[in-house]
Amino acid sequence: MWEPPTLAPLAKWSASWQAADSWHTGWGPRLKVMNQFFDTIGGLPLHPLTVHAASVLIPLSAIALVLLVFVPKWRKAYLPLTVGALAVSVGLAFAAKQSGEALAARVGTPADHQELGDLLFPASIGLFALGLAFYFFTKTETKTPKWTLQLAGGLSTAAVAGVVILSVLVGHSGAEATWGNRLAANPVEELVAPTEPVPGATDGSTGGTTGGTSNGGITVAEVLKHNTATDCWSVVNGNVYDLTSYVSTHAGGEAVIKAICGKDGTKSFSGQHAGATKPNADLSSLLVGALATSSSSGGTSSGSGTTGTTPGLGTTVALTAAEVLKHSTGTDCWSVIKGEVYDLTSYVKDHPGGASLIKAICGKDGSTSFASQHAGAATPKNILAAFALGPLVAGSTLPEATVRGDEEGDEEEDEEGDD
């Protein structure tokens, strides 16, 4: 005989929640432990493994559920297996989410991929719930109205379509973030020696013919001499590196390094590393010096501390505090973090913590703000590498930005300012 439900389960759940409330006060440390658990396996990031497993199993189990909705004769044999696969999918989606957060603390995360990934976990839970409901309805279909079974099947079908599309978008955004820049980047740019004298050249000749340095830098002509695998120099972001000893040890293979010997390897480096790392961190032990600059090519010398151009290269990266102060708005936002200048203009709207936190450090020193928001779990060099402009000139100082710990605080300050 059917009995009306009681409030006992609800009361029991409420008591359990209150008893566990103290657990939430230590939520931060527990999240750190969880991130460490999902961080790496065998010294490699766990995220690629979990996200690929989730991206494959979730759509397959979802499609299987749709087939069972429309093919009743298969339900008895395959529906329990499908529901089990949906349950495993929930676990994989959770693992992908947590391992993604752990990886983000190391190298940063593309905003689109992170937003879609955050949706996949609750979506997988919803799909599992619908699959489970459909399973129980089929077990009691003789006792329940036919429309109930049809409704469960219809909802499951709609949910499957949404989850499959979401899974594809998650996989695509992740692949684009990982491989897009590498495939699109022009691997190598030829260095071109200047035809006009480089100011400061010791013999007054052109940078292309002097074999030494000028403006405290190394000339293009000198770099061009080191163009073999056994004597390999290359220019990356305005700095000259001796990669001879690195050719045989490069994880991506010798051919990648050989291709940039005696050339500008900036785009090749950026393409291979997808903006996640910087040469001044990876190649610091191989640095020879800065490439010589020429004011005749439309820029200034690197010693001036302003941006300029170099023969056969893009811009130098030494920047003054006065230059940073010019970029102090949400639509033109530069900030200094631990001595490095970053152009955060395109990051304002994508910042997971809200635009107000980034706007507050525009044209200022955001080192303290960054450290407080990330609690030592990440460094600007891996989170913001794609936005780096270069080091702040020694001796330059900027006002320290003061940022409240949450967006509500920022909004309250804005309102008080308006009053």
For the segment 126-179, what is each residue's pLDDT rounded down to a tens digit? 889 888 888 887 777 666 666 766 676 677 777 778 888 888 887 777 776 665
Polymer length in residues for the chain: 419
pLDDT of 84 reads 93
pLDDT of 85 reads 92
Q: Identify the band that residue 405 occupies on the pLDDT scale cut at 50, 70 and 90.
A: very low
pLDDT of 187 reads 46
Provide the percentage of residues in the chain whose pLDDT is more than 90: 6
pLDDT above 50 for 357: yes
Region 241-263 average pLDDT: 82
Query: Which residues are bridge partners to 44 per DSSP?
Result: 41
pLDDT of 103 reads 74
Residues whose CB falls within 8 Å of the CB of residue 63, separated by 6 or more in sequence, listed in order: 160, 164
Provide the percentage of residues in the chain whose pLDDT is more than 70: 57
Average pLDDT along the chain: 69
Q: Which of 63-72, 100-109, 284-293, 386-395 has the lowest mean pLDDT?
A: 100-109
**According to the per-residue pLDDT averaged within each range, which of 194-198, 263-267, 406-410 is highest?**
263-267
pLDDT above 50 for 219: yes
Domains of the chain (ranges; CATH) run 34-183 (no CATH), 213-299 (3.10.120.10), 321-413 (3.10.120.10)
How many CB atoms neighbour CB 178 within 10 A? 14
pLDDT of 211 reads 39
Residues whose CB falls within 8 Å of the CB of residue 17, separated by 6 or more in sequence, listed in order: none
Region 92-107 average pLDDT: 78
pLDDT of 231 reads 93
Name the residue with higher pLDDT: 53 or 295. Answer: 53
342 by DSSP, 3-state: which?
Answer: strand
Task: Express each pLDDT in 264-280 by its tens digit.
Answer: 887 777 655 544 445 55
| 291 φ, ψ (degrees, to nearest 5) | -70, 140
Q: What CA–CA distance (Å, rounded) separates 62 from 127? A: 8
pLDDT of 319 reads 76
In sign, the C-alpha dihedral spanning 291, 296, 301, 306 is negative
Q: Identify the band that residue 21 occupies on the pLDDT scale cut at 50, 70 and 90.
A: very low
Name the residue with higher pLDDT: 313 or 237. Answer: 237
**pTM > 0.85:** no
Q: At residue 266, what is the residue type?
A: T
Q: Find the distance separating the first CA and the last CA of the chain, reported in whole Å.
A: 66
Q: Identify the band that residue 213 occupies on the pLDDT scale cut at 50, 70 and 90.
A: very low
pLDDT above 80 for 366: yes
The rounded Cα 276 to chain-centroid distance in angstroms is 7
Task: Express each pLDDT in 291-331 by its tens digit.
Answer: 876 533 333 333 333 343 333 333 344 578 888 888 899 88
Q: Which of 65-74, 234-243, 385-394 has the lowest mean pLDDT?
A: 385-394
Region 68-80 average pLDDT: 86
**According to the per-residue pLDDT averaged within each range, which of 32-36, 109-113, 125-129, 140-144 is highest?**
125-129
Element (H, E) at 242: strand 239-242
pLDDT of 202 reads 34
pLDDT of 191 reads 58
